Amino acid sequence: MNIRELILNPDNFFKDLSSKESSLTTPFLIVLALSVLNSIYTYYETSIIFNLFPPDMQSKMSIIMIFSIVSSFIGGFISWLLIAGVMHLISMAFKGEGPFKRTLGFIGYGFLPNLIGSLITILVGYYFLSNAQVPTLTMEQLQNPTVAEEVISSIIPKTMVYTNLLINIAVILWNLGLWTYGIKYARDLELKKAFIVALIPVVLFLIYQIYGVIKML
Amino acid sequence: MKKLLIFILFLFFLLLINPINAVEFTGIDYKNEYLEPGKTYDLWVIITPEKEINNTVIGVSPYGVGSEYIQIIKGRDYEGNLLQSEKGVGHFIIHIKEDAPSKDYNILAYCNYTKDGKKYSDNRIFEIPIRGKPTLTVENPSVINEGINRIYIKIKNKGTGIAQNIKIKFEEGNNIYALSEGYIKYLKPGKTGTVEIKVYGENSGIAKLPYTLTYSNPYNDLQLVDKRETESRKSKTITYNYKNQKTVEESGNLIFKIIPNDAIDLNVKDCSFPVGKVNNFTLSIKNNYKDSKFTVIIGKYYIGNNQKTLSINYGEIKNITFNIKVEEMGVKEIPVRIIFGGNEIERNISVNIIGKVDLVLTGVNVEGITEKTITGDLSNIGTDKAKSVLISVKKTERVIPLRPYENYFIGTLNPDDYGSFELHAKVINETDSIPIVIQYRDENNNLIKIEKNISIKNLINPNQSQENNDYIPLIIGILFIVGVLFLLYWNFFKKNKKIIIKNNKNNREV
């Protein structure tokens, strides 16, 4: 895989790739690395947040932590399948041609920005959360959503939220670029049609991201 | 074996039939009831020979523990020839050492002589009683004030025996009168007793107070007063006249300097000090006497210098400060000696040494965001106990105490004791601290209130310390998005434009 070509000239990269036999190994490794990074970040963040809980609840919280890590890990693969599936379906409306395996592979390459974004997000998270002093709350306080939200927002500063939002927007826009060229050559579409196909899941994802940020603020 | 036994019996029989002592020790005389330590005595030993003896020498030497305390000055006396039944009197001089304890000591008297050309020696042990004798001295304060004074007279036994029933009486003095008498039951050798006497100093100047000191010995003390010899044709009679000195009466004068009653005004600035701490003990001296140099000495509890000198003019008030530290609570007396213009006065300044309560919050934990639960300990690290200790949340614009623990009763906190507490409060506006009021009663039931603040800064905003420099990640995020946008622009527009231009060039060439 020529990463430089994928970043600087995705059109050429996918064009070359379309002439070869499709392989899922490299996209799988990209998504796998992304899932591992997401799991690490989930572990780090939840282990800090879980300090809010009283000591007698810490053992129960470890089960939730394992669930969150596994979810983050599987989430990457599910997103890959889901986005590839949605694009494949939408491209049918534009009379796109090509096997799903190729769509899956090309969309997988498009997760490279997420991998870079995750690396930056982990560093930013460590920068903000490494010195955070997390108070232990009582059960009554934890059951009060206002209190819990206030405490979490006091631990996670607004600057961190804004920084992550910027990184996520950048990643999504980059995804749009890569997936446009990816679906173009995977389904043999015109550039404009490919752009529309890629735009629909990206917009949905972007709306979800902005909603999450608004909720945090 | 049988021969040996007969020989031993024969020797024993010879000893029985031959008298050993040819000289009889008739008596010992020292002309006193008891001998006193520190004194030198003449001693006479009288012998009576049963037969005529020649080259007779009589001697004495201490025996047993007596050798430590009895010193022989003249221990041998030559008598020469003594006829049968003729008395021989040996004269000796002995000295009883100062430190000789009162008891009966043994002394060995011996007699060396020749009889029938052969040398013999006989001896006998006598007891001599040594009894100490008390010697009392009287000390009085040199300076008193005009008017009534309560003075302490020191009576010291510098002798070697116990003094009993010590009484000191006073006669009308010159410029001074005694208003009481003194009595001490007994004084052992080397000990000092004090009697409190009230005296009245009439006018300033020198005063003389005559006194009579009486005390008694525990033993009879026969002192040789008179010796008379009467001689008749047949005999010579010596009469010794003794006086029993068991009860001693001594007279003397106590000399005082009477100074004006208001020569100085002595006050203490602060008479309450916390126990166990170094404090400033400040004396205020007003000079009503005349321009003088004052030397002030404190006798107890001082740290560092206990003597200071300063000049005070007539009518002037000056302060002098010493460092003192007292380790016990209660009222304590600090002896103060002031020497000025050849006068010396002693005063005891009473100071009240009090404990001090020192309450500190320890192990404080604050939980909650708007509704705070404050738990912790209140520890008394002071030296006095705090009674009825109550801790409460102070109501402010930002903090409202919440039931049921708007206040918490801890009770009595002794020194080195602590009490746990729990307080509830609601923070209605952002604040860094919750004000706490601690009230207690001290030993004198005074109500004391202390205000303390419990910091909640970290709980409200744990990342506040990072706020100042957390724009660096944001800048990185902005640069990242700018980079991505540039990349997209390059990929979608500029590159396509270049390709179009390149295609157009190719078409022209064709």
pLDDT tens track for B79-88:
999 998 898 9
Question: Based on the domain organization, do B447 and B372 belong to the same domain?
Answer: yes
Question: Based on the domain organization, do B83 and B171 belong to the same domain?
Answer: no
Other beta carbons less than 10 A from residue B176's beta carbon: 24
- Interface probe for A, chosen from B466, B468, B502 (most Cβ of A below 10 Å), is B466
**What sign for the dihedral angle of Cα B481, B484, B489, B492?**
negative
Angle at B408 between CA B407 and CA B411, to 5 degrees: 135
Bridge-based pairing of strands B371-380 and B236-244 is unpaired
pLDDT of amino acid B7: 61
Residue of A138, A154, A173 lying closest to B367 (CB–CB): A138
Average pLDDT, chain B: 84
d(CA B319, CA B337): 15
Q: Do A155 and B473 touch (CB under 8 A)?
A: no
Question: Based on the domain organization, do B373 and B340 belong to the same domain?
Answer: no
Name the interface residues of A facing B (CB cutoff 8 Å): 7-11, 113, 117, 120, 123-124, 127-128, 131-138, 141, 147, 150-151, 154-155, 157, 159-160, 162-167, 169-171, 173-174, 176-177, 181
Angle at A12 between CA A7 and CA A15, to 5 degrees: 125
Q: Do B473 and A137 touch (CB under 8 A)?
A: no
Query: Which is nearest to B366 in space by CA: B408, B427, B418, B419?
Result: B427
Question: Based on the domain organization, do B141 and B246 belong to the same domain?
Answer: yes
pLDDT of amino acid B16: 47
Chain B: nearest CA to A24, how far in angstroms?
A: 25
pLDDT of amino acid B231: 78
Identify the H or E element spanning B26.
strand B23-29
Query: Which is nearest to B454 in space by CA: B386, B391, B390?
Result: B391
Average the pLDDT over each of B195-199, B273-277, B282-286, B455-459 and give the range with the smallest value. Answer: B455-459
Q: Do B490 and A150 touch (CB under 8 A)?
A: no
Q: Do A124 and B473 touch (CB under 8 A)?
A: yes
Query: Which is nearest to B369 in space by CA: A57, A148, A47?
Result: A148
- Interface probe for B, chosen from A174, A192, A196 (most Cβ of B below 10 Å), is A174
**What is the signed CA dihedral for B12, B17, B20, B26, rounded to 10 degrees?**
130
Among B438, B460, B482, the domain boundary falls at B460
Chain A residues near residue B477 by CB distance under 8 angstroms: 120, 124, 162-167, 170
Average the pLDDT over each of A20-24, B57-61, B107-111 and give the range with the smallest value. Answer: A20-24
Q: Do B373 and A138 touch (CB under 8 A)?
A: yes
Question: Based on the domain organization, do B316 and B366 belong to the same domain?
Answer: no
Confidence band of B465 (pLDDT split at 50, 70, 90): very low
Q: Do B483 and A151 touch (CB under 8 A)?
A: no
Chain B: nearest CA to A69, how far in angstroms?
A: 25
Number of domains, chain B:
4
Query: Which is nearest to A199 in space by CA: A213, A212, A180, A178?
Result: A180
The ipTM estimated for the assembled molecules is 0.86
Chain B residues near residue A157 by CB distance under 8 angstroms: 463, 466-467, 470
pLDDT, average across residues B137-156: 89
Chain B: nearest CA to A6, how far in angstroms?
A: 10
User: In this structure, are residues B35 and B41 in contact, taking their beta carbons and an 8 Å threshold?
Assistant: yes
Chain A: nearest CA to B393, how far in angstroms?
A: 20
Chain A: nearest CA to B406, how far in angstroms?
A: 19
Number of domains, chain A:
1
Range of the domain at B194: 136-228+238-259
Q: Find all residues with CB under 8 Å of A26, minimum gap 6, and list them.
A: A1, A105, A108, A109
pLDDT of amino acid B33: 77
Q: Do A8 and B370 touch (CB under 8 A)?
A: no
Confidence band of B500 (pLDDT split at 50, 70, 90): low
Residue B342 clears pLDDT 90, i.e. is over it? no
pLDDT of amino acid B45: 94
Q: How far apart are the first and last CA of chain B?
A: 169
Confidence band of B154 (pLDDT split at 50, 70, 90): very high
Question: Based on the domain organization, do B189 and B124 belong to the same domain?
Answer: no
Residue B510 clears pLDDT 50, i.e. is over it? no
Residue percentage of chain B with pLDDT more than 90 = 35
User: In this structure, are residues B200 and B256 in contact, taking their beta carbons and an 8 Å threshold?
Assistant: no
pLDDT of amino acid B76: 93
pLDDT, average across residues B49-77: 92
- Interface probe for B, chosen from A167, A176, A179 (most Cβ of B below 10 Å), is A167
pLDDT, average across residues B25-41: 87
Confidence band of B464 (pLDDT split at 50, 70, 90): very low
Residue B93 clears pLDDT 70, i.e. is over it? yes
Q: Do B370 and A166 touch (CB under 8 A)?
A: no
Average the pLDDT over each of A70-79, B19-28, B181-190 and give the range with the smallest value. Answer: B19-28
Question: Based on the domain organization, do B158 and B242 belong to the same domain?
Answer: yes
Residue B463 clears pLDDT 70, i.e. is over it? no
Beta bridge pairs of residue B109: B60, B124
Residue of A127, A164, A174 lying closest to B484 (CB–CB): A174
CATH number at residue B337: 2.60.40.10
- Interface probe for B, chosen from A13, A154, A179, A202 (most Cβ of B below 10 Å), is A154
pLDDT of amino acid B134: 86
Residue B506 clears pLDDT 60, i.e. is over it? no
Determine, yes or no, domain membership for B500: no
Q: Find all residues with CB under 8 Å of B228, minimum gap 6, and list them.
A: B238, B239, B241
Residue B111 clears pLDDT 90, i.e. is over it? yes
Question: Based on the domain organization, do B247 and B291 belong to the same domain?
Answer: no
Angle at A195 between CA A194 and CA A198, to 5 degrees: 85
Range of the domain at A108: 3-216
Chain B residues near residue A124 by CB distance under 8 angstroms: 473, 476-477
Q: How far apart are the first and last CA of chain A?
A: 40
pLDDT, average across residues B198-203: 90
Q: Do B487 and A131 touch (CB under 8 A)?
A: no
Query: Which is nearest to B479 in space by CA: A100, A85, A120, A76?
Result: A120
Other beta carbons less than 10 A from residue B415's beta carbon: 16
Confidence band of B208 (pLDDT split at 50, 70, 90): very high
Confidence band of B446 (pLDDT split at 50, 70, 90): confident
Among B354, B373, B388, the domain boundary falls at B354
The token pair at A133 is: 């002093």
Chain B residue with the nearest C-alpha to that of A141: B368
Chain A residues near residue B483 by CB distance under 8 angstroms: 170
Residue of B465, B472, B488 lying closest to A173 (CB–CB): B488
Name the interface residues of B facing A (CB cutoff 8 Å): 366-371, 373, 458-463, 465-467, 470-474, 476-478, 480-481, 483-485, 487-488, 490-492, 495
Number of inter-chain CB pairs under 8 A, A vs B: 111
Residue B178 clears pLDDT 70, i.e. is over it? yes
d(CA B134, CA B270): 47
pLDDT beneath 70: ranges in chain A? 1, 138, 140-141, 144, 146-147, 150, 216-217
Residue B509 clears pLDDT 90, i.e. is over it? no
Residue B12 clears pLDDT 60, i.e. is over it? no
Q: Find all residues with CB under 8 Å of B420, minimum gap 6, and list them.
A: B375, B376, B377, B378, B410
d(CA B97, CA B157): 18
Residue B17 clears pLDDT 60, i.e. is over it? no
Residue of B368, B462, B481 lying closest to A133 (CB–CB): B462
Q: Do A141 and B487 touch (CB under 8 A)?
A: no
Question: Based on the domain organization, do B123 and B104 belong to the same domain?
Answer: yes
User: In this structure, are residues B264 and B289 in contact, taking their beta carbons and an 8 Å threshold?
Assistant: yes
Confidence band of B227 (pLDDT split at 50, 70, 90): confident
pLDDT, average across residues B148-166: 90
Question: Based on the domain organization, do B180 and B245 belong to the same domain?
Answer: yes
The token pair at B125 is: 């042990």
Cα–chain center distance at A70: 15
Chain A residues near residue B466 by CB distance under 8 angstroms: 128, 131, 157
Measure Cα distances from B420 to B373, B386, B402, B412, B438 in Å: 13, 15, 18, 12, 13
Chain A residues near residue B430 by CB distance under 8 angstroms: none
Chain A: nearest CA to B389, how far in angstroms?
A: 28
Among B445, B460, B475, the domain boundary falls at B460
- Interface probe for B, chosen from A15, A119, A131, A159 (most Cβ of B below 10 Å), is A159
Residue percentage of chain B with pLDDT more than 70 = 89
Residue of B460, B476, B487 lying closest to A120 (CB–CB): B476
Residue of B369, B477, B488 lying closest to A147 (CB–CB): B369
Chain B residues near residue A131 by CB distance under 8 angstroms: 463, 465-466
Question: Based on the domain organization, do B255 and B141 belong to the same domain?
Answer: yes
Q: Is B422 left (phi over 0), alpha (psi -120 to 50) or beta?
A: beta
pLDDT, average across residues B94-116: 90
Question: Based on the domain organization, do B30 and B124 belong to the same domain?
Answer: yes
Residue of B476, B487, B495 lying closest to A7 (CB–CB): B487
